[in-house]
Amino acid sequence: MDRVIDARGVSYEYPDTTRAIADVDLTVAAGERVAVLGANGSGKSTLQLVLGGLVEPTAGTVTYFGETTDVEAVRERLGVLLQDPEDYLFNTTVREDIEYGPAQLDVPRETATARIDALADELGLEELLDRPPFRLSGGEKQRAAVASVLAFNPDVLLLDEPLGAVDIHYRERILELLERHDGTTIVFTPSVDLVPLLAERVVLVGQDGSIVADDGVREVLTDRSLLEKHGLRPPAVVRLFEGIVPTDEIPLTVPEGRDRLRRADRSVDQY
Ligand SMILES: Nc1ncnc2c1ncn2[C@@H]1O[C@H](COP(=O)(O)OP(=O)(O)OP(=O)(O)O)[C@@H](O)[C@H]1O
Ligand SMILES: [Mg+2]
C-alpha cells in the first residue's frame, strides 16, 4: 500500500490550551477517498489543518508519501481547502486567485490558462473571473475556492466542507470533477448525505477530538446509535429503510432506494 498520509499519535492544542484533536492515528492510502464526520467542534477542521501541514501538531508526527515529515518538501502536492473560502481569495480578481497556485508551481502560462478556462467553464465562473472576490456570493466564493485548489492539480485533496454553500447544480459538477480526478487521494468533510457519493471510508471524530470509528461507508452510515452519539444522523434514505430491510441491504443513496422499492413492488405483483 502506498501511504500518502500517515499520522501517528497526532494531537493539536490551540494556544489557549483547547485540545482540538487527540492522539489520532490515521493512514490514508494513495487514491483513497475518506470522509471525515463529527459533531460541531469535534476537530474536523483542525484535523484537516494538521494533515494539510498548515499547523504543526503539538504531539505526534505526520509522514507524507511514506517519505518525509517535512511538509514543505511536499507542499505543492497537497491541495488544502479550508472551511472558510475567504481564506483563499485575497487577490484583486478571481482569475488572479485561481492563477496563483499554478504560477507558484511554474506551470507554463498556456497550460495554466487552458486549465483555468476549463475549470471556469465547469464551475460557472466565466462571468466572475474579472470581479473582485469579495463581491461574490457565498456559493460563488466557494466555487472559486474549489477552482483555485484544483487548478494546480495536487496529488492529495484535503477539502473541508467544499460543498456547504453551493447549490445542487454546482454540487453535482464539483462531485463529477472530483470523481474524474481518478487516483487523487481525497480527504473531505461532507454532510452525511454526500458521503456515499464520493467516499469509500469514513473516519468519525468524537467530541474529544479522537477517532471513534474508522470503517466502511455502509458500516458507519447504518449505525444510528453511533452517529447519534456523535451529533449526527444517518441519511434520510437510510432512516427510511431502517428496520424494514436487513441492515446489509439498506440503500445508502436515493437511486439505490428507488431501485429497492421497484424490486419490492415487483415482488408484491407476484402475489
Ligand atoms: N483558533 C482557535 N483557538 C482556540 N480554539 C479553537 C480555534 N479554532 C477552533 N477551536 C476549537 O477547537 C475545537 C475543534 O474545532 P474545529 O473547528 O476543528 O471543529 P469542527 O469539527 O471543524 O467543527 P464544525 O463542524 O463546526 O466545522 C473546538 O472546540 C473549537 O472551539
Ligand atoms: Mg469545521
Ligand 1 atom with the smallest distance to the CA of 43 is 18
The answer to whether residue 231 is domain-embedded is: no
H helices of the chain, where?
44-51, 94-104, 109-122, 138-150, 168-180, 195-198, 217-221, 224-229, 236-241, 254-269
- Ligand 2: centre distance to CA 160 (Å): 7
The answer to whether residue 52 is domain-embedded is: yes
The answer to whether residue 249 is domain-embedded is: no
- Write out pLDDT tens, residues 32-88: 999 999 999 999 999 999 999 999 999 999 999 999 999 999 999 999 999 887 776
Cα–Cα distances in angstroms (integers) from residue 13 to residues 21, 82, 203, 263, in the given order: 7, 18, 20, 52
- Backbone Cα Rg of the chain: 20
Ligand 1 atom with the smallest distance to the CA of 39 is 25
The answer to whether residue 194 is domain-embedded is: yes
The total domain count for the chain is 1
CATH at residue 53? 3.40.50.300
Residue whose Cα lies nearest atom 14 of ligand 1: it is 43
Residue owning grid cell 490558462:
113
The answer to whether residue 134 is domain-embedded is: yes
Q: Which domain holds residue 154?
A: 3-216
- Write out pLDDT tens, residues 191-241: 999 999 999 999 999 999 999 999 999 999 999 999 999 999 999 999 999
The answer to whether residue 239 is domain-embedded is: no
The answer to whether residue 135 is domain-embedded is: yes
- Ligand 2: centre distance to CA 63 (Å): 23
Residue whose Cα lies nearest atom 24 of ligand 1: it is 40
Residue from 17, 18, 19, 158 to probe ligand 1 pocket by mutation (most atoms less than 8 Å from CB): 18
Residue owning grid cell 480526478:
181
CB 189 within 8 A of CB 36: yes
Ligand 1 atom with the smallest distance to the CA of 83 is 27
The answer to whether residue 229 is domain-embedded is: no
